[in-house]
Each structure stands twice: as C-alpha cells, then as structure tokens.
Copies of this chain bind each other. A is one copy, B any other.
C-alpha cells in the first residue's frame, strides 16, 4: 500500500494556537444561561435582591431559581441572607466578593468572543468584496 502525503494545512492555521477557540475562561458555573442572568441581576443590584424580585427579573420558576442559587452558593459566588420565619420570612441574595471577581473575569472572556465574531465578520466582508465575481465552490448546499 502506498502512503499518500498528508494534506498540508492552510497557511493561516499554522499561526493559530491549539485551543484558540476553546474559550476555557468561560466558567461553566456562570455560563449556564439562567445562572448568567442571576449573576447579572445581582451585579446590577449591589444591595441584593429579594427572591420574588430576582425570580421576576430572570423569569424563572421558584424551583429553577432555588436550584441555580444553590449551585451559585456552593461555588461561593452568591450568598443568601434569610430573615424572619415561616410566612413572613424573606431571603435576599447578593454576589459575594468572589462572585463579583469571577463575573468580571467571565465577562472579559465574553468580550473576546464578541471581538472574534467582529473580526470574522470583517474578514468575511472583505472576502466578499474580493470574490464577488468568482464562481461558487462546488459541493456546498448553500
């Protein structure tokens, strides 16, 4: 059996590092969409939010909000203060110092995603201008 030479990678790939688009800095605890909403709500209300207000802002059910708050508390990102007992009890949630720091790091990683997308769009626009009169590549459905 003859060994065929492997296809050479495209030039631009050689300059890109492994995991360039792995986005490891997007912490999964915060990245989950409902939890991201909770974190953003609490960031916008430094004094904390009562449970019903947080539920309303994030459009979550009691059960979902409780479950996600539990995850965020266990990760040390959110603290919950319970006041009163029984029917008159209230629980107020707010970000911990660590929660604020990790949200800031997360948002920094998000900014990179936004920048990557903007750069890709700009490159695509440039390519469209350059290839406007070129024939379409065969084999693609669109």
Contact = CB atoms under 8 A, between A and B. Distances in A.
Interface string A44-57: 11110010010011
Interface residues of A, number: 65
A81 B140 CA distance: 7
Q: How many copies does the complex hold?
A: 2
A136 interface: no
A123 B9 contact: no
Interface in A16-46: 16, 18-24, 26, 28, 31, 33, 36-38, 40-41, 43-46
A142 B33 contact: no
Contact of A20 (B57, B113, B127): B57
A131 to B, nearest CB: 10
Contact of A23 (B13, B37, B79, B103): B37
A90 B9 CA distance: 13
A19 B142 contact: no
A21 B117 contact: no
Which of A37, A41, A104, A118 counts the most B-chain CB atoms under 10 A from its CB?
A: A37
20 contacts: A4-B88, A7-B50, A18-B56, A19-B56, A19-B57, A21-B37, A21-B40, A22-B58, A24-B59, A26-B36, A40-B113, A40-B120, A44-B116, A46-B124, A79-B140, A79-B141, A81-B139, A97-B142, A107-B118, A111-B114
